Amino acid sequence: MISFGPVPSRRLGKSLGINNVISPKVCSYNCVYCQAGKTYEKSIKRTTFFQPEDIFKKVLEHIQLLSEEYYPDYLTYVSNGEPTLDINLGKTIELLKSSGIPIAVITNASLLFDETVRNDLFLADWVSLKIDAGDNDTWQKVNRPASGLDFDKTIESINLFTNIYNGILCTETMLIDGMNDDADNLTSVSEIIKRLNPRTAYLAIPTRPPSEESVNPPVSEKLNMAWQIFNNNQINTEYLTGFEGTDTGFTGNIYDDILNITSVHPLRQDSLIRLLRNDNADFSVVKSLIKQRLLRSTIYNGNKYYLREYHLHINSQLE
Ligand code: SF4
């Protein structure tokens, strides 16, 4: 399950996803809104998940299977957890650069205290940093970081990285009703982001089923207030609140396409139906995956989604 898509991305066009973290999920955070489910393995220790040559080979094979229409605009690390936990991230980026396709990394920014992580990310053409909280209390509530991480040090490390990074820098702030959408937090977050001078600061809301059922998007007045606060701080701000579209890339292997995409985010029913059509398959594939307990469906905000089903050995790391 190393590569998937390309999926239509609101920020990156046709984005071929690279999942460089083993399933089900390893992350330094356990965000309440995570679309990849709860973090059962919370870690801040970099490790080997795959060999760089294997990722490189899989991605090149995947690209060769795509028609011209789906040639990716970006190769994007959007993992089943935190991509910088992969100790080989830099080596893999260097290999993938030979494809000529720009590389993007979507990271939660929590490991930037580590110089090797900063050096790896310097190699990427586009980096998005997650900044949801302007203070430690909100950070603990929304992102639920692994022990060993410190809020002030994380912000300091983000500054250290952005002072040197010369690719395209973006930030992403996920807004949750009643958790981080108050004026105080939004003001603090906007002050942190202003110092980073990103190309664009994205304000996101949960558009897919979250890890915690109680999580909801903010009311529209709060979203508007967030934009006003960022904008008043001269930050180029955009909403990331719409649906990406249904035009998902396909490889001809419908089982792999469905399982690879749903291991990173749930698939809305209309996207799934389009994918089935493109892969010349029918709904019996979905029924079979559900029967094998590899997929399940859920309703969120009036839409039906299909999620990857995992059979986890739950341990004490679960919060
Ligand atoms: S949203 Fe990202 S950073 Fe947060 S728990 Fe999920 S994978 Fe980790």
In this structure, the residues whose C-beta lies within 6 A of any atom of ligand 1 are 27, 29-31, 34, 36, 39, 81-82, 108
pLDDT of residue 169: 98
Q: Evaluate whether residue 161 is within a structural domain.
A: yes
Q: Is the dihedral of CA 73, 106, 258, 216 positive or negative?
A: negative
8 Å CB contact between 177 and 222: yes
Where does the pLDDT of residue 220 fall: very low under 50, low under 70, confident under 90, or very high at 90 and above?
confident
* Residue 34 pLDDT exceeds 60: yes
pLDDT in tens, 265-292: 678 899 999 999 988 999 999 999 999 9
Q: Whose CA is nearest to atom 6 of ligand 1?
A: 34
**Residue 173 CA to ligand 1 centre (angstroms):** 12
* pLDDT at position 317: 30
pLDDT score for 218? 87
Q: Residue 192: give its domain's CATH number.
A: 3.20.20.70
Give pLDDT, residue 7.
Answer: 86
Residue 262, domain member (yes or no):
yes
313 located within any domain: no
Residue 47's domain comprises 3-308
Does residue 317 fall inside a structural domain?
no
In this prediction, residue 242 carries a pLDDT of 59
Cα(132) to ligand 1 centroid in Å equals: 11
Whole-angstrom CA distances from 279 to 123, 140, 230, 253 are 35, 43, 43, 7
The more confident residue out of 305 and 249 is 305
Is residue 138 assigned to a domain?
Answer: yes
Atom of ligand 1 nearest to the CA of 81: 7
Residue at 316 is within a domain:
no
> How far is 121 from 129, CA to CA, in rounded Å?
11
Number of domains present in the structure of the chain: 1
Instruction: Answer whether residue 251 is part of any domain.
Output: yes
pLDDT in tens, 99-133: 999 999 999 999 999 999 999 999 999 999 999 99
Rounded to 5 degrees, what are φ and ψ at 120? Answer: -65, -45
Helix or strand holding residue 59 (H, E):
helix 52-65
Cβ neighbours for 297, distance < 8 A, ≥ 6 positions apart: 269, 290, 304, 305, 306, 307
Nearest ligand 1 atom to alpha carbon 27: 8
Residue 275 maps to a domain: yes
- pLDDT (mean) for 233-249: 73
